[in-house]
Structure 1
Amino acid sequence: MIEVIHSGSIPDGHFTVSTIMFLISNLLSSQPLVNSLIGLALFWLVKYLFNTIQRIRSLPAGPWGLPIVGYLPFIKDDIYLVFDQLSKKYGPVYSLKLGSFDVVLVCDWPHMKDAVANDALLARQHEVFFPGVVEGRSFAEMSGDPWREHRRLSLHILRDVGLGKSTIETLVKEEVDQFLSALENNGKPADFEKCISRSVTNNVSILLFGHKYERDDPTAIAISSANTEVGRSFSFAGVVAFLPWLAELVFKFELFNVTRLKKCFQIVDTHIQDEIVKHQEKNSQEVVDYIDGYLVEKKNREKQNKVDDNFTIEILRRNAGAFYGAGTETVSSTMEWIMVYLVKYPEYQDKIRSEIADVIGFERKPDYVDRNRMPFTMAFIHEIHRIGSVVANNLLRRAASDTKIGNYNIPKDTLVILNFWSVNRDPKLWPNPDEFDPTRFLTEDGSKVVKPPHLIPFSAGKRNCPGESLANVELFLYLVCMLQKYHVKVKPGTKISTEAIFGLSRRPSQLPTFIFEKISNSN
């Protein structure tokens, strides 16, 4: 064969199509070579089929998909609804192929309870959330010891600067006052979505940077808008999560209008970096906020020669961005659902206001501790969490080793999704689950509120949301302060929709124009 190629039959000059065809023709004329190629192809085919069968047999049963893309083409925007529907056919724990990954869905409470307590399921996928847009990992994207170390440090710093203490509660109250004045808007209808997003952004800024922003500060407005846009672009069913190789091409060649998404990340990143520089210039050991705490820890490590790639300014920037995004998106989305159901069922406003009158009155500001004497108010918030399902399913988890969920095998590197929506709408746990009914969380005489263990709006276990305590304070104070001062209404004949859109969170697809009518103290 080699002699034929070197016989001088190839035309002079560079290779042309005819030259290539000539080479292929000569190669294929060798029967032993053809047999070898066919044998090799059959070997790899058999190996692929064997591995595929082994993989399928090792996983819980589930639907078949297509080559390369798996079940992705059959997934709609409301991915949590598709997951829930499939569980009706394949059972509470099932598997499917999503793009490049084997994925196991957990859709009932007994198995979910087992999963959140399983240390083997604490890892994240190997890819970052937005390949091609951000490269470094925040602690939310880390696995193993780096994640444990950063989470432990983050919680320690945030508690030191006020999280879970009266200090942060006081600051949130001050921010709520500014929020309420924004709602009045000189008698004109206020844009509630923008007002609440900017206000909650301020609360997170206090923890991260040690200060907040004026309502009309252009920086705060830009950050709030950017975070909202990123949150709405975050889809667990998209190429970003399950076809990372395709996502990289999309971002590289700026397809599907990803230029705007990159700009949103840049806005937040640039601002956080500016804050980091200001904190570095202080050169102080005093810890007032999260950036202070991280920089102090970094200096201490450098003094002890503990410098490594898992503790850098880049990671600080990523961590702050993660707190910013998650801390604003979930609370503002939950507040939007609160508004929808307040105007859909105005009688619940009256019940909450009755508790305000009995426990707080209309002169003093509420304290978070007042919740212990306001069972209906807390039941209303719990029911918002359940029916709103702001976090409809968890950020992807990965099995760090072979493990089990109940009696189901979960092979190493399988991705696991906990579909909270399914649990929140399970008729075995909630009678008439599609109905909005706060009384389901009250004792028979209505004197106490009971939060069952299967209501986990901030996830559960070691991967639960580190900002849960702040979110709980915010939701209570925003709701109570608002109803202490206003009747919330809409124009007569306005249709109240409970349809949702889904990105990083599940939020109302459209908000009506809310009217905030001041109430007298005698009410």
Structure 2
Amino acid sequence: MLLVQSVLSNIQFAEYALLGAVVFLLCWLMFAEKKRTQFAPPGPRPLPLIGNLLDMVGADPHIRLTEMAETFGTVFQVRFGREPVVVINDIDLAKEALVKNGDDFAGRAHLPTTDLLSNSGMGIAFADYGRGWRIHKKLTHNSLKMFGQGMFQLEDKITTEADWLCGYLKTSSGAPLDPYLPLNTVVGNVISSICFGKRFEPEDDEFRTIIGYNEGLVDTVGKDALIDVFPWLAKLPNSTVTKMKQCLKTRDNVLNNNIEEHRGSFKDGQPRDLVDALLKAQAEAAAEGGRKAQRYLSDEHILTTVNDVFGGGMETSTTTLRWILAFLLHHPEVQKRIQAEMQQVLCANDPVRLSDRERLPYLEATIREVLRMRPVAPLAIPHVAIRDSSVGDFDVPQGTRVMFNLWAIHHDERHWTDPATFNPDRFLDAKTGQLLRGGSFLPFLAGCRGCLGESMAKAELFLFTARILRDFRLELPDGVSPPSLQGRYGVVMAPDRYDICFRPRNA
């Protein structure tokens, strides 16, 4: 009997000890959180271990963070797990961090998903700030500039693809057609000419493989965000991570094949495209005998940079063009006004040129309004403070993750009247009808981490949209409602698939 009582007593002592340890741990965590945040921006009170994850439930992240800004101000802090994240929701403060103090916030976070995408931080998009990133940024920038002064060569490539696009749409004879594949084809061919010096047809097996793995990555990246909050979850069985890895394996095979083809055909002299430029830099670094080639210009570095340019440029522009067409289906009066403007400015068979942007302000304003209302990446790629800095009146310690909430910036009622309403006229001077500059508008970010392909993307959006609207009327299939403008949040915020009837305007 005494033995039984002794055992029971020991069990109770163990339970009390465990309970005490848990209480002590929770109190320590709460004290640590309070101590760490006493000089930080305001924000919702985090819970131990999980932070503010429960506050994010119920809406897409950019929507929930915009709602928080109404309570806590234009700069506030949340915690994803135990990781502090400063969220900037104001255009002036965003420019302060991106431009004025751009070097302070040029870092990138190492997260399980982005490490998978970037071979553990290589390339441009997800590479941390440092020498390797600067090398690849410079090589890519020079490759994008090789099309010549005034972007004439790039304009010619886009115009050639626009001819193909309108020919393809014409074959539909006005029957319902999903624009996803033809838009992907022409945008993909523009960026492929820069990266690989070649173009695809929609039925090409290689191109269909590219479409497949891109769709897979868009569907998986950002879908299971918990593995970026709790990295140990990535080590457990996870269907999303498994699918992502399969898509990345296919991606690497396609890109490696193209890189090896270039390695066999490249000759000394002027590089033909981005792959040639990277291979040339790799060969020169190896000839110098230093560690630069191995450390910054390995085959894995080259593959990752090519993917950043090719995959990023293809998916973002295609998605924006799909948003433009979706909004025009919702607003046929805007479509008619653009076509009337074009009819006044352009002769019947004149090609549309980039120089026509100033003469077609309403078309350009419509594109900007779509970019405002549906930024492709509403929260952009998170930055990291590489040194102690500040935003507005708040200190931002080194290592803090920083998010730029483009959704909040683009829907800021202090800068835009009725921001939830689609209204291209907000970008035009009421007296002159010409384009207005500035505003709470930052679709391509800014500073050293701004989009390298901004000029190319703007050219594509203008020329492709202009050619489609010059040649076709966009109409809904009979009995079909306009496509949803809600969007699916992920690595890009894309509309659901939809059909359009492209009716030739000369019919």
* Fold equivalence (TM over 0.5): yes
Match of 1:414 among 400, 403, 415: 400
Q: Distance in 1 between matches of 2:434 and 2:325?
A: 24
Is 2:341 the counterpart of 1:393? no
Deviation at 1:97, TM superposition (A): 0.8
Secondary structure (helix, strand or coil) at the match of 1:94 reads strand
Secondary structure (helix, strand or coil) at the match of 2:280 reads helix
User: Does the Cα contact within 8 Å between 1:128 and 1:141 map onto a contact in 2?
Assistant: no
- Give the percent of matched residue pairs that are identical in Structure 1 and Structure 2: 25
Secondary structure (helix, strand or coil) at the match of 1:294 reads helix
Q: In structure 1, what is the equivalent of residue 4 of structure 2?
A: none
Q: Deviations over 1:111-149 (max 9, x none)?
A: 212121222111001335444576342221112222222
1:397-476 equivalent positions in 2, closer than 5 A: 397-476=383-462
Q: In structure 2, what is the equivalent of residue 14 of structure 1?
A: none
Match of 2:85 among 95, 103, 127: 103
In structure 1, give the amino acid aligned to 2:108.
R
- Which of 1 and 2 has higher RCO (CA within 8 Å, sep 6+)? 2
Is 2:69 the counterpart of 1:83? no
User: Does the Cα contact within 8 Å between 2:66 and 2:89 map onto a contact in 1?
Assistant: yes
Deviation at 1:389, TM superposition (A): 2.0
Q: In structure 2, what is the equivalent of residue 66 of structure 1?
A: 47
**Against the structure 1 CA distance between its residues 236 and 125, is the aligned structure 2 distance closer, same or farther, given a 3 Å change threshold?**
farther
Q: In structure 1, what is the equivalent of residue 494 of structure 2?
A: 507
User: Does the Cα contact within 8 Å between 1:426 and 1:433 map onto a contact in 2?
Assistant: yes
For structure 1, which runs of at least 5 residues remain unmatched after alignment? Answer: 1-21
Q: In structure 2, what is the equivalent of residue 55 of structure 1?
A: 36
Q: Distance in 1 between matches of 2:31 and 2:82?
A: 18
Q: Distance in 2 between matches of 1:133 and 1:168?
A: 28
Q: In structure 1, what is the equivalent of residue 3 of structure 2?
A: none
Deviation at 1:325, TM superposition (A): 2.1
Secondary structure (helix, strand or coil) at the match of 1:508 reads coil
Secondary structure (helix, strand or coil) at the match of 1:95 reads strand
Q: In structure 2, what is the equivalent of residue 228 of structure 1?
A: 215
What is the TM-score when the length of structure 2 is the normalising length? 0.89
Match of 1:249 among 235, 238, 242: 235
Q: Deviations over 1:182-224 (max 9, x none)?
A: 2234434222112212221111111100111122111112202
Q: Distance in 1 between matches of 2:244 and 2:263?
A: 29
Is 2:274 the counterpart of 1:290? yes
**Against the structure 1 CA distance between its residues 278 and 409, is the aligned structure 2 distance closer, same or farther, given a 3 Å change threshold?**
same
Query: Aligned pairs, how many?
Result: 488
**Against the structure 1 CA distance between its residues 464 and 282, is the aligned structure 2 distance closer, same or farther, given a 3 Å change threshold?**
same
Q: Distance in 1 between matches of 2:117 and 2:124?
A: 17
Q: Which has the larger radius of gyration?
A: 1
Q: Distance in 1 between matches of 2:44 and 2:149?
A: 44
What is the TM-score when the length of structure 1 is the normalising length? 0.87
User: Does the Cα contact within 8 Å between 2:224 and 2:240 map onto a contact in 1?
Assistant: no
In structure 2, give the amino acid aligned to 1:270.
N
Match of 2:258 among 252, 267, 275: 275
Q: Distance in 2 between matches of 1:70 and 1:61?
A: 14
Q: In structure 1, what is the equivalent of residue 242 of structure 2?
A: 259
Q: Distance in 2 between matches of 1:131 and 1:461?
A: 23
Secondary structure (helix, strand or coil) at the match of 1:57 reads coil
Q: Distance in 2 between matches of 1:397 and 1:243?
A: 19
Q: Distance in 2 between matches of 1:134 and 1:432?
A: 39
Deviation at 1:358, TM superposition (A): 2.2
Q: Distance in 2 between matches of 1:240 and 1:199?
A: 35
Q: In structure 2, what is the equivalent of residue 330 of structure 1?
A: 316
Deviation at 1:269, TM superposition (A): 1.3
In structure 2, give the amino acid aligned to 1:151.
K
Deviation at 1:39, TM superposition (A): 12
**Against the structure 1 CA distance between its residues 295 and 452, is the aligned structure 2 distance closer, same or farther, given a 3 Å change threshold?**
same
**Against the structure 1 CA distance between its residues 64 and 485, is the aligned structure 2 distance closer, same or farther, given a 3 Å change threshold?**
same
In structure 1, give the amino acid aligned to 2:40.
L
Deviation at 1:169, TM superposition (A): 1.2
Q: Distance in 1 between matches of 2:309 and 2:283?
A: 22
In structure 1, give the amino acid aligned to 2:47.
L
Q: CA RMSD in A?
A: 2.8
Match of 1:200 among 187, 201, 207: 187
Is 2:127 the counterpart of 1:142? yes
Q: Distance in 2 between matches of 1:186 and 1:404?
A: 55
Deviation at 1:107, TM superposition (A): 1.0
